[in-house]
Structure 1
Amino acid sequence: MTTPPPGPPPGTVPPPGPVPPRRTRPTPWVRTRLRATPTASLLAAALAFVAVLLAAGLPRALDRGADQALRDYLTDKGPTAASLYATAGPRPAGRSAGELDSVLDVLRARTGDGFGLVPGAEVHGSLGLKTRSLTNPELPQPEAVPVALGLGYLKQAPEHTRLAAGRWPDGAAPGKPVEVALSHRAAETLNVRVGTVLNAAPSVTGAASAEVVGLYEAADEADPYWGDLPCVTHACLRVYPAKLPKNYWQTFALVGAGGLERLVQWGGGATDFWRLPVDTGSLHVHELPETRRQVAAYVSGPTATQLMQDSNRNDLRISSRLPALFEEAEARRQAAAPLTAIGPAGVAGVALVVFCLAAALTGDRRETELVLLLARGGSRPEILRRLLGESAVTVLPGALLATALAVSLLPTPRLAPALLAAAATTLFALLAFPVRALVLLSPRRGRPAARRRLVGELLVFAATAAAVYEVRSRGIAPAGQGVDPLLIAAPLLLALSGGLLLARIQPPLMGALARSAGRGSGVIGFLGLARAARGTGGRGRPSVLPLVALLLAVTTAGFGANVLTAVDGSRAQAARQSVGGDARIAAAAGDSLPPALTEAATALSGVRTGLPVWTDSEAFLFGAGGQGSPRITVVVADPVAYAELARAVGRGQFDPGLLAGGAAAANAPVPALFSKDLAAKATEDGYRLRLGGGEELRARPVGEFDGTPALPGAGAATIVLPAGPVLAHVSRAAKPNLWFGLGPVADARLRALVRETVPAAVAERLLIQTSEATAAELGRDPLQAAAGRIFWGSVAASAVFALLALLITLARAAPERAASLARLRTMGLRPRQGIALILAEALPQAVAAACGGGLLAAAAVALLGPAVDLSALVGTAVPTGLRVLPRPLTTQTLALAALAVLAVLAEAAISGRRQITTELRAGDSR
């Protein structure tokens, strides 16, 4: 047994033992760095937020614009264009309304996969195949043709009408008249009232009669319910197709469910129909291929076969205009897509440059810190990991908030494009500074870097030349093939090449200007230009990126502004050609315009030239040998005014001197202009012209023309005659049936003038058109409006990013510039001279970049313009080609140049007032 060692005596203090090592926690890197530079962190987060918001919002804005354009396009085609229409013959074994309802349920059940129906908007019923002439002597019979009455059954009619008198019809006992309801407007036109029995003329189905038991009024005649129903809400004035056409009244009356059998007897048969309006509000462009497939299957595919089996109607036939309309709408969207994508592509390019500049600025500020970390044993992967952590904390919250905001502000069902664009932008924002740091921490390679830069620039120049040559040689991708990458890349490559070229030219040019300024007495210009020759990339290193940013912004803005201005001009010209001038008033066939109207229209404010014209489309031309030609149209007008109209419209121009003079003698030939198809047959012997009223003239061809403003869009054989000689032989030509006006004529004012000048009955028969209203109608397409909004939004975003690039560039050079100014201040430099020095250094580069961008935009239009087709944005077919328009190019160039100058002035005012003591420090290496 061992004894324990004795302890210390009582009252003694034990000697101190070994002190345990103190445990220290590592400093949190990310939090420390963010606290050290809170302003820079907030600016980086704001930049990422804005960039991601634009990237995520653009696809959703494009989807919304395309969806709205599709819906409006279908709506403009008519109330029943976006409908499925099913028809079948009547069942042989009796008819009932319930059987029609059951077929409707079958048709409804097979929809909903790729498209839906408008709830409660279905129309179904039965219509007689033929109308019957009524023998009642009290009915009106214009031109001795009796009234024609058809019968029909509409299940939903009571829901869309209101009874004006009587009751709704029911069945009728055999041998008695069938009960019908007639529209109140038709009853007033035909002098029919409740209780009237309408007797039909005998036919192969036997005699028949109908008793009017009720009169109804449509709740809304513009309701799509009545869209393709024939003469159900009113009586229609029809033309009887005989050798001499005659007018007669036609209308349809409605029977009740019990009168379906009598309907077949009255009409010699019947057609059961079901109209199912498709819900265009639920259609989306990105789902259009699947929707088109589903509709095609419903109309004439496996679904249609199944519907025949389910409905027990082997003769069920389904038709719809939707497949063709879908194809047309998609072709329009694809045709507009290349021009729509130019603006966003420019924004993406400028934003990319801004991220690179921001990373370069941060790298310049932290290069010493990063090199020190590497020298003290830090590894590059570890440093990059920490920098990625900084970027993640700065970028990710703003990117997530921007994505959520874009999704909520621009609702659309498709998420993938927005998420992909946001993810790509976020990834670039995350990696911009870490990649820059990796470059700074890599070993220097010395002289070969200059050769690598030269090779890269040559590759860019080669790619630009190849893109321009390819677009010029083959044109842009045909409509329907989507965005043409070459058309998008060519302007951007031109801007990039211009930036690289300007970066090469600018230093020696600025150096030459500095040497020239050095010969003078002042020193400010020499110092500023000398610093500009060294570049503002930070520490005197030239930077290509700010030049590329400004050139991209100006080139994109100028090219897009040129496109939109050309679209407006082409639309105005197309509208003018469609109308035949700036204003047109046409009388109905066989009528003439009142003299008071033509005089008042010519005197209307804004009308520069008013021209009354007489036309005759019933004329015939006979050759010298008596051989006749097909029917032609004769246009009689004052030669001088008509020539001015043709020049303004750009169609059928001619020299009015050709029609000078006239037929002094009774049988002297009248000088005439022949359309090209007739001019090929014309001879100097002249022709004999027989007008529609029987008058005859001799015509002598003096020239030819291609088209005429008097007949917009017509390709018929036409002859233009001078008014003076013709009036001497044809008195009817003194009563014009057309009036054309040139000048800024307001559509509302012209219509008001017509209402004030002529009676209402006459005004209703006149056709009034203005180029203003026609151009507005062409430009009403949401597809064009969306393209314009996206472009101008892209211009604004590009300008902001370009200014940001300029400010970042100035900020990179600010420390060195401020130190130099402080040293110069100690040598007597005044504050105003310091601001002037900053302006002399920064303004030449900004102004040169803006002007260079304008020249590049003009070059892009000149090189790519011949291949650009503006028809999709104009709204009608126009000749392919785009010419340089100085005004929009100059406007965009001057606007961005002014913004750049203001940014430089603001930065100069801030930098020029810095205190000397804050810049001059002992041991400062700047």
Structure 2
Amino acid sequence: MSTTPGLFALTRRRFATPRSAALVIVALTLLAAFVISAAPRALVGVVRDEVAHQIAGVPATSRDLTGSTIGIPAFGAAADAGIADGWDAGAAEVFGALGQALADNRDGFDTALRPLTAPAQFAEYAERFAVVPDDLPADAPISYIQPLAEPAAAEHLEVVEGEWPTVGAVETELPGGSEVARAVVPIVLSVEAAETMQWAVGERRGVAADASRPAKGVVEELPEYELVATVQAVDTAADRWLHLPTALTATVFDDGNQRPQATSVAWIAADVWPAATAGIMTRTWTTAWYPVDGTAAQSEEPADVLAGLRAATASSVALDSTGQLRMRFESDLVAELSTALARSASASAILAVAAVGPLAVSVALVVLASALIIRRRRADLALMSARGAPLPRLRRLLAVEGLLLGVPAAVVGAVAGVAVTSHDAGPVPTVVAIAMGLAPAAALAFTLRARTLERSARADLDAPVRGRAVRLVEIIVIVLAVLAVGQLVIGGVGAGEAIDPLVIVAPLLATVALALIFVRLHPLPIAAVARAARRGRGVVSLVGAARNLRDPAAGTTAVLAMIVAVAIAVFSSLVLATVDRGAVAAAQREVGGDIQVAGPYFSDEVIDAMRGVDGVVQAAGVLRGDYIDVTGPDDRVSAQAFVTDLDAFTAVQAGMIGAVPPGSVTAGADPVQVGLSAAALEEIGRGDTTVVGTPVEVGAAFDRVLGFTQPDEVVLVDRADYETLTGAGFYPRAVVVDLAEGADAAAVAAELGEAVGTTHSIRILDDSLAEIQASPAVAALRFVLFAALALAVALSVVAVLLVAGVSKDARSRVIALLRTLGLDRRRSRGIVAWEFAPLGITALVGGVVLGAVLPLLVVASIDLRPFTGGGRQPALAVDPVLTGVLIAVVVVALALAVVAGVVSARTISMATVLRTEED
């Protein structure tokens, strides 16, 4: 006969309750598994998107691996004949050796880089020189040509008139009446260049003896250049034309004082190039580039591509057998990929800090929900124990139920995380996510203790006892937190694109340590109130404080969960505000006003016209002047002068982060007042200061003049004072504009352009800010921090509701018993409020303190500059709206819990309580 009759029947009937706690466990496990599975894969996608975003803004000349050197490589054939496939006739014997050197260099590229690069393209060209015909028309410009040869020119050009030069040596003629043999070099011009130069096919021109005076004739000893063909590009939009000197058109320079100058490339056949360059040209360049496929780069591992690019640009390539002529390649992709990886590393670190908190809270709430299940089933568990079920067996049953609740939820969460993210982050995140399904089993099994099965056990009559092991663990955590934070702040973090584990470990340990400290401090004020209540007459404070101390439903788990949840919400709001403020500061540093207009020169009349545009409040011209001597008590520096109308300039930038405050530098003062950059002031020292020998007074120190690139040493001077100090005039080439509130920046910019009239460029503050925030990494950071904030607030509400559920039976019993003694509803609400108010106060105070400490660690250890585009780490900022909303939500949640507690207590009949509980 079984010693445990009815055990499994009781299990099937009773282990379905309470459903609310089981649903919480399922939901939290699914959420945790989803985050663990999806977050790493999503971060991989963010990195790839960031790479795509960065590469998209890089022009071909900056994206391709490009090199240039002065000199002519040794001529000769390639060892591999296949290198010359598709080249022009005769080019293989001239440029083959150069093509071989560049091909060998590409073969040495990193395996991650080689598939992204096409075979090298290259060309050789000479310094420009003037050529003139025998009779130069009066309306024709002086022609300047840059002889250029490349191995496959005919592939990219089609002949419009004439014939491409045939293979052969440079023709040599002996002009009539001359004893000097003269070479004739056949050249090819683009159709547009030939028209601009008024050079007809078949016409010859010699090298001008005096370019400024064409009538002086040509140098007889130098060759003539005969135009044998005009051509046009097969693809005018091809990137290759950006790598070559002016080729498809002629660049015309006309200052109005002399005959215009027209400059263009003149193609020379590859086989003619050696003879054409022999002793003729003063300087010759070799340029080469490996086209980089930006689209393909987005599909590769960015860190590997970056490493390959760094290796390819780290050393020079020998272009001749002696090794004397060398070329080093460069690409802006190195900087762009570094920025992308820096953003991704910073984002990963911040998001890891933000994600660990909610995950820890989720685990804590699973434990709290398990405690609720155990409390609700204590009678059934005690009955099964009394009928012979040993404690290990009950724990195994609870563990099985935990597996049934947790494992399917974890699998669903992990699968969902994989389904919504398309990038691969390896198997580890998915395995860890599924392993989260074991957490409910462990929580249910270990929450059950032998003391719970004792019918006489009354937690509210016995003070909690904490073991030495618990205290030892807490001390170890605090010591480790102090060491990690100290190492993080004092020692710094490791360099590189990868996340330094210390960046995550230190904030995590600090979070746990501070939360534990607040948990230990939590009972102290309650105990003080309890002692004071014993001397008074009020029952609410006495009963409420005593119950909170003896039966703390808001025990360690609940307090930890609430503190960490509030801390993560505060952390997210502060980091969001910091990143947003940093982006605004970066945009202001770039533009210097709501709008900046740059051009060749702005007169006072033009600036006044700009001030008259509808929507413009103020405008100020800015001149980047000469470098002038600034002398102080310690040293002398050469500082660049920034000259402006100071009153208008400071009014435009009023309220901008880092701007010179209005009124800090007075124009026309005696002695003259100037502003100095902090770097210049630190170098010369504080005290008696002179500018170009004139004593001045330093009215303001600033980091930089907003809106302009500049050296470290800068002096800011009013336009009138600048003329007094240097005698130079005021010729601004930029104007910063302040707009009225609500003005349409784009419409105002269009009107400003009409007021300027001449060639100019315009930058708008809002557009610059939008460009910074358009980065996928920035967008992902903002989204995840907002999500973490919302999730933390939601978990806070769940924690309060679980606390209300855990303490429901004991609370109902106390309220029902006190009602038999005459307790009214108002005081019963006060007793219920005592159960939640200390928890809420501790969570708010501890969470706000902890939430403020975490961003300090982030700012100290994680580089936020890639998110803000600025040169300095952004300062910590506070968003009062987000913080206020957070506090309001927690207070509302506590109030709802009080109401729910009172309502639930009223639903329990006094007869039921007296019949089922012992006094």
TM-score (norm 1): 0.75
In structure 1, what is the equivalent of residue 563 of structure 2? 551
Match of 2:847 among 853, 866, 876: 853
Q: Does 2:190 match 1:182?
A: yes
CA deviation map 1:95-130 (0-9, x unaligned):
7635699979988888894346459x7673644455
How far did 1:412 drift?
1.0
Structure 2 counterpart of 1:435, which letter?
A: F
In structure 2, what is the equivalent of residue 10 of structure 1? none
**Alignment check: 8 A CA contact 2:395 2:444 kept:** no
Q: 1:140 to 1:873 in 2, by over 3 A?
A: farther
How far did 1:405 drift?
1.4
Q: 1:441 to 1:917 in 2, by over 3 A?
A: closer
In structure 1, what is the equivalent of residue 409 of structure 2? 398
Structure 1 counterpart of 2:795, which letter?
A: F
In the TM superposition, 1:289-328 aligns within 5 A as 290-291=304-305, 319-321=329-331
Q: 1:52 to 1:600 in 2, by over 3 A?
A: same
Q: 1:249 to 1:458 in 2, by over 3 A?
A: same
**Alignment check: 8 A CA contact 1:835 1:909 kept:** yes
Match of 1:230 among 238, 245, 255: 245
Q: Does 2:86 match 1:97?
A: yes
3-state SS, counterpart of residue 61 of structure 1: helix
How far did 1:555 drift?
1.6
In structure 1, what is the equivalent of residue 263 of structure 2? 250
Q: Which runs of 5+ in 2 are unaligned?
A: 79-83, 172-183, 208-218, 279-283
Match of 2:746 among 748, 752, 760: 748
CA deviation map 1:149-194 (0-9, x unaligned):
44455859978x9x8x93897553656985746275x56755678x
CA deviation map 1:631-665 (0-9, x unaligned):
86555544544566787563666965765456xxx
CA deviation map 1:40-64 (0-9, x unaligned):
5444333221110111111112222
How far did 1:353 drift?
1.3
In the TM superposition, 1:2-21 aligns within 5 A as none
In structure 2, what is the equivalent of residue 79 of structure 1? 60
In structure 2, what is the equivalent of residue 901 of structure 1? 894
How far did 1:752 drift?
1.4
In the TM superposition, 1:374-453 aligns within 5 A as 374-437=385-448, 449=466, 453=470
In the alignment, the residues of structure 2 paired with residue 682 and residue 853 of structure 1 have an alpha-carbon distance, to the nearest angstrom, of 44
Q: 1:878 to 1:815 in 2, by over 3 A?
A: same
Q: 1:105 to 1:907 in 2, by over 3 A?
A: farther
How far did 1:358 drift?
2.0
In structure 1, what is the equivalent of residue 281 of structure 2? none
Q: Does 2:530 match 1:511?
A: yes
In the alignment, the residues of structure 1 paired with residue 730 and residue 324 of structure 2 have an alpha-carbon distance, to the nearest angstrom, of 63
RMSD: 5.4
Q: 1:209 to 1:659 in 2, by over 3 A?
A: same
In the alignment, the residues of structure 2 paired with residue 152 and residue 123 of structure 1 have an alpha-carbon distance, to the nearest angstrom, of 15
**Alignment check: 8 A CA contact 2:590 2:708 kept:** yes
Q: Does 2:54 match 1:60?
A: no
Match of 2:144 among 143, 147, 152: 147
Q: Does 2:67 match 1:69?
A: no
CA deviation map 1:390-411 (0-9, x unaligned):
2222222221222111112111
In the TM superposition, 1:152-231 aligns within 5 A as 152-153=149-150, 166=160, 170-172=164-166, 180=188, 182=190, 190=197, 199=205, 201=207, 206-216=223-233, 218=235, 220=237, 224=239, 226-231=241-246
Match of 2:32 among 31, 46, 51: 51
Q: 1:514 to 1:125 in 2, by over 3 A?
A: same
Q: Does 2:589 match 1:567?
A: no
Q: Does 2:799 match 1:805?
A: yes
Q: 1:246 to 1:472 in 2, by over 3 A?
A: farther
3-state SS, counterpart of residue 211 of structure 1: strand
How far did 1:561 drift?
2.2
Identity over the aligned pairs, expressed in percent?
A: 18
In the alignment, the residues of structure 2 paired with residue 424 and residue 109 of structure 1 have an alpha-carbon distance, to the nearest angstrom, of 45
Structure 1 counterpart of 2:226, which letter?
A: S
**Alignment check: 8 A CA contact 1:658 1:703 kept:** no
**Alignment check: 8 A CA contact 1:336 1:872 kept:** no
CA deviation map 1:321-364 (0-9, x unaligned):
36676556545544554434321121222122112212222222
In the alignment, the residues of structure 2 paired with residue 390 and residue 797 of structure 1 have an alpha-carbon distance, to the nearest angstrom, of 27
In the TM superposition, 1:765-914 aligns within 5 A as 766-822=760-816, 838-839=832-833, 841-859=835-853, 870-879=864-873, 882-883=875-876, 885=878, 887=880, 890-891=883-884, 893-898=886-891, 900-901=893-894, 903-904=896-897, 907-908=900-901, 911=904, 914=907
Structure 2 counterpart of 1:785, which letter?
A: A
How far did 1:543 drift?
0.8
Structure 2 counterpart of 1:791, which letter?
A: L
Q: 1:68 to 1:487 in 2, by over 3 A?
A: farther
How far did 1:699 drift?
4.0
How far did 1:492 drift?
0.9
Q: Does 2:755 match 1:757?
A: yes
Aligned residues: 849
In structure 1, what is the equivalent of residue 696 of structure 2? 701
**Alignment check: 8 A CA contact 1:132 1:267 kept:** no
Structure 2 counterpart of 1:873, which letter?
A: F
Match of 1:482 among 499, 516, 522: 499
Q: 1:640 to 1:295 in 2, by over 3 A?
A: closer
In the alignment, the residues of structure 2 paired with residue 272 and residue 718 of structure 1 have an alpha-carbon distance, to the nearest angstrom, of 37
In the alignment, the residues of structure 1 paired with residue 884 and residue 533 of structure 2 have an alpha-carbon distance, to the nearest angstrom, of 30
In the alignment, the residues of structure 2 paired with residue 405 and residue 758 of structure 1 have an alpha-carbon distance, to the nearest angstrom, of 57
Q: 1:573 to 1:816 in 2, by over 3 A?
A: same
Q: 1:167 to 1:32 in 2, by over 3 A?
A: farther
Q: 1:183 to 1:231 in 2, by over 3 A?
A: farther
3-state SS, counterpart of residue 617 of structure 1: strand
**Alignment check: 8 A CA contact 2:621 2:732 kept:** yes
3-state SS, counterpart of residue 52 of structure 1: helix
In the alignment, the residues of structure 2 paired with residue 814 and residue 742 of structure 1 have an alpha-carbon distance, to the nearest angstrom, of 61
How far did 1:552 drift?
0.8
In the alignment, the residues of structure 1 paired with residue 9 and residue 194 of structure 2 have an alpha-carbon distance, to the nearest angstrom, of 91
Q: Which runs of 5+ in 1 are unaligned?
A: 1-20, 624-628, 663-668, 690-697
TM-score (norm 2): 0.75
How far did 1:147 drift?
2.6
**Alignment check: 8 A CA contact 1:672 1:722 kept:** yes
In the TM superposition, 1:516-665 aligns within 5 A as 519=537, 531-532=547-548, 534-537=550-553, 542-588=554-600, 591-593=601-603, 595-601=605-611, 605=615, 607=617, 609-613=618-622, 616-617=625-626, 633-641=640-648, 650=658, 659-661=667-669
Q: 1:633 to 1:108 in 2, by over 3 A?
A: closer
